[in-house]
């Protein structure tokens, strides 16, 4: 056991040495220089394009008031109803009704098609006649975006590790451009849905790689900024969709879709002015390309490159030597500790892991269900739909401020309960006020306020589960666990577009359903571990130690902090 602990300590120190090595290069090159600012700006510019394509259906596939069309001038109602007499023909939304004052004597589908209150090209719904028995196809187009996100999350992660961050980010930007334009010229609903699926895959590539690239271009002490920058940019981008859609409200849906897609031309700027991630180049042994990037950083940030390159080459030689020495004993370690070879099956084998995972799966499902339901129903609230959507997007910003100040102070578990409680309370109140709104229009203001509160909580739910989940799994299960959680969130996201159907049955039902799920999450959080003051678990035994003694093996071994000298940079690990 002692030999195994020494081996784990050696591996941990080696990992810390590699991380500090790259960070030292970035610090020596000035992490707040023009190079970092240029790359962060170029990456952030692609985030709004992802938000545009994810929620574009809110406006391009908006509901259009309609009714059954009447017969052409050359024919009359007698072609449908044999005897109309003094009876009345009512052109309903989905059926033609033959009525005798208060009673319906006969009804038939809209055999003459539908008559819309807006121009035919005002929406995908009116363009492709996606109403009545075909309205499910309009909702399916949004669901397929989320299905595409699930596939994109898996493929883009693999491709970025293999071919580089810049390659996948730029490819995803051009993918959004081409598929977005193709969707604007889709000849029918089926082709439109197919391109929406592809858009979902490329959209996830932009979001995932933008976050990763910003994380890797900054040293340790600046990485907390990444989450805040990405979250605020996403919120502002989605909020910007409302005024853009308002500008095109009297134009065709494909004009709006085409405009939103052309924003992805930012990929040209990324292709011309961005470099590959320095960390990715070093890890993958691309030394010559890494040296070119170091030279460019030094030139843009006005730093001397000679000393930095010399130290860089010396560190590479030392690391390669250590890798050769460590590889000689790698087979022995695997035999001594089977926990180093972990797979998703280990989640099922270890009771504590399985319980934690099940709780998190439900958290992700509820977060996605609430997030997409609130966003996709924002325009159905009373009042101006464009203003309502913009205000809904604006509610993403307070949650980012909340986490910036409270995540480490309150802890992950309390923050999780707080945001889910806020979201659950908001959706339940919104459903209740929406029901009261049917008899008294004054409740529309309260409905809007409750919905905005719910959105503030829902945005926080997503941010929190992204931060909390990786801290609860061993190293060799961490990325796989996030992938499974993401899968469950896609299930919730796919159900979100169909919340409107449930609201037609009972307007309060979606809010109550989500509110019950939020209450369950708050109860499950009581049984989850607090991770804010614990080192990340390296093995399953580390995780199990949390529940046996309340402290992980690494915490017993030592507590460490990284001191950053304002002049010399990082001086390594120092015991507290």
What is the number of other CB atoms lying within 10 angstroms of the CB of residue 461?
27
Determine contact, residues 186/234, Cβ cutoff 8 Å.
Answer: no
Distances (CA, A) of 331 to 226, 338, 341: 38, 11, 11
Judge whether residue 448 has pLDDT over 90: no
Determine contact, residues 47/234, Cβ cutoff 8 Å.
Answer: yes
Token pair 């600046």 is found at: 222
What is the number of other CB atoms lying within 10 angstroms of the CB of residue 486?
21
CA angle, residues 266, 61, 399, in degrees to nearest 5:
60
Q: Exposed, middle or buried: residue 335 (CB in 10 Å: 0-12, 13-18, 19+)?
A: exposed
Token pair 């992802």 is found at: 50
Beta bridge partner(s), residue 67: 115
Judge whether residue 258 has pLDDT over 60: yes
Domain ranges in the chain are: 31-64+118-274, 276-308, 343-533
Judge whether residue 301 has pLDDT over 70: yes
Which CATH number is associated with domain 343-533?
1.20.1250.20
| Helices and strands of the chain, counted as H and E runs | 26, 7
Judge whether residue 42 has pLDDT over 90: yes
Judge whether residue 18 has pLDDT over 70: no
pLDDT, tens only, 102-122: 787 788 888 888 888 888 889
- Which 8-state DSSP code applies to residue 535? P
Instruction: Say whether 79 sits in a helix, a strand or coil.
Output: helix
Token pair 């970092």 is found at: 36
Q: For residue 352, what are the contacts with CB-CB under 8 A and spacing of at least 6?
A: 543, 544, 547
- Buried b / exposed e over 87-100, threshold 16 CB at 10 Å, is bebebeeebbbbee
Judge whether residue 171 has pLDDT over 50: yes
pLDDT reported for residue 302: 85
- Kindly state the average pLDDT of the residues 141-156: 82
pLDDT, tens only, 483-538: 678 778 878 887 876 776 777 777 788 888 899 999 999 999 998 888 776 665 66
Determine contact, residues 67/91, Cβ cutoff 8 Å.
Answer: yes
Distances (CA, A) of 373 to 230, 376, 502: 22, 5, 11
pLDDT band of 318, cuts 50, 70, 90? low
- Kindly state the average pLDDT of the residues 557-574: 36
Determine contact, residues 418/410, Cβ cutoff 8 Å.
Answer: yes
**The two domains 31-64+118-274 and 343-533 share their CATH topology (first three levels equal):** yes
Sign of CA dihedral 221, 227, 228, 232: positive
Determine contact, residues 412/532, Cβ cutoff 8 Å.
Answer: yes
Determine contact, residues 130/42, Cβ cutoff 8 Å.
Answer: no
Q: For residues 268 and 170, what is the distance between their CA atoms, to the nearest angstrom?
A: 8
Architecture per CATH, 31-64+118-274: Up-down Bundle (1.20)
pLDDT, tens only, 368-424: 888 888 876 765 655 678 887 888 778 777 877 777 777 767 888 888 899 999 999
pLDDT reported for residue 321: 57
Question: Please, what is the average pLDDT of the chain?
Answer: 77
User: H/E element holding 91?
Assistant: strand 88-91
pLDDT band of 478, cuts 50, 70, 90? low
Backbone φ and ψ for 46, nearest 5 degrees, come out as -85, -20
Q: For residue 531, what are the contacts with CB-CB under 8 A and spacing of at least 6?
A: 412, 468, 471, 472
Judge whether residue 15 has pLDDT over 50: no
Q: For residues 50 and 230, what is the distance between their CA atoms, to the nearest angstrom?
A: 12
- Which pair of tokens denotes residue 480? 């796989």
Q: For residues 260 and 179, what is the distance between their CA atoms, to the nearest angstrom?
A: 11
Judge whether residue 564 has pLDDT over 70: no
Top mean-pLDDT range of 353-367, 435-449, 537-551: 353-367
């Amino acid at each position: 056991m002692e030999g195994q602990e020494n081996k784990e300590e050696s591996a941990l120190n080696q990992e810390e040495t590699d991380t500090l090595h790259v960070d030292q290069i970035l610090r020596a090159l000035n992490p707040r220089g023009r190079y970092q600012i240029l790359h962060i700006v170029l990456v952030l510019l692609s985030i709004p394009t992802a938000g545009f394509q994810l929620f574009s259906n809110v406006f391009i596939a908006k509901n259009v008031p309609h009714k059954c069309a009447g017969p052409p001038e050359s024919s009359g109602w007698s072609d449908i109803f044999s005897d109309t007499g003094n009876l009345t023909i009512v052109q309903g939304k989905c059926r033609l009704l033959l009525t005798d004052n208060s009673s319906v004597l006969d009804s038939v589908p809209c055999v003459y098609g539908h008559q819309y209150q807006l121009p035919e090209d005002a929406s995908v719904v009116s363009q492709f006649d996606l109403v009545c028995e075909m309205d499910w196809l309009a909702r399916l187009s949004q669901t397929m975006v989320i299905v595409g996100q699930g596939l994109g999350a898996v493929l883009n992660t693999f491709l970025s590790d293999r071919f580089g961050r810049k390659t996948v980010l730029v490819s995803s930007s051009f993918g959004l451009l081409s598929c977005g334009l193709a969707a604007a010229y889709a000849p029918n609903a089926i082709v439109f849905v197919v391109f929406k699926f592809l858009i979902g895959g490329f959209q996830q590539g932009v979001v995932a790689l933008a976050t990763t690239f910003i994380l890797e271009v900054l040293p340790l002490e600046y990485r907390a900024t990444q989450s805040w920058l990405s979250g605020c940019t996403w919120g502002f981008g989605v909020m910007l969709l409302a005024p853009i859609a308002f500008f095109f409200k009297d134009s065709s849906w494909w004009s709006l879709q085409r405009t939103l897609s052309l924003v992805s031309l930012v990929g040209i700027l990324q292709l011309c002015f961005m470099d590959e991630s320095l960390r990715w180049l070093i890890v993958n042994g691309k030394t010559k390309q890494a040296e070119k990037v170091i030279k460019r950083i030094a030139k843009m940030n006005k730093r001397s490159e000679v000393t930095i390159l010399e130290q860089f080459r010396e560190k590479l030689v030392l690391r390669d030597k250590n890798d050769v020495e460590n590889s000689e004993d790698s087979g022995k370690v695997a035999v001594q500790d089977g926990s180093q070879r972990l797979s998703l099956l280990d989640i099922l084998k270890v009771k504590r892991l399985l319980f934690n995972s099940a709780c998190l799966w439900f958290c992700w499902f509820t977060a996605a269900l609430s997030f997409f339901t609130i966003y996709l129903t924002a325009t159905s609230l009373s009042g101006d739909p464009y203003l309502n959507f913009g205000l809904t997007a604006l509610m993403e910003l307070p949650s980012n401020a909340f986490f910036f100040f409270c995540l480490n102070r309150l802890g992950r578990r309390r923050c999780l309960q707080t945001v889910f409680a806020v979201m659950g309370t908001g959706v339940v109140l919104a459903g209740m006020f929406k029901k009261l709104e049917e008899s008294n229009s004054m409740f529309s203001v309260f409905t809007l306020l409750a919905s905005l509160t719910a959105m503030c909580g829902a945005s926080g739910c997503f941010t929190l589960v992204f931060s909390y989940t990786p801290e609860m799994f061993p190293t060799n299960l961490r990325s796989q666990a996030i992938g499974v959680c993401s899968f469950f969130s896609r299930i919730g996201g796919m159900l979100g577009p169909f919340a409107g159907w449930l609201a037609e049955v009972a307007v309060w039902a979606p809010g109550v359903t989500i509110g019950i799920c939020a209450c369950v999450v708050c109860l499950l959080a009581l049984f989850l571990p607090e991770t804010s003051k614990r080192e990340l678990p390296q093995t399953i035994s580390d995780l199990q130690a949390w529940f046996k003694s309340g402290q992980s093996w690494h915490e017993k071994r030592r507590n460490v902090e990284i001191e950053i000298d304002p002049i010399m940079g990082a001086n390594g690990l120092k015991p507290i």
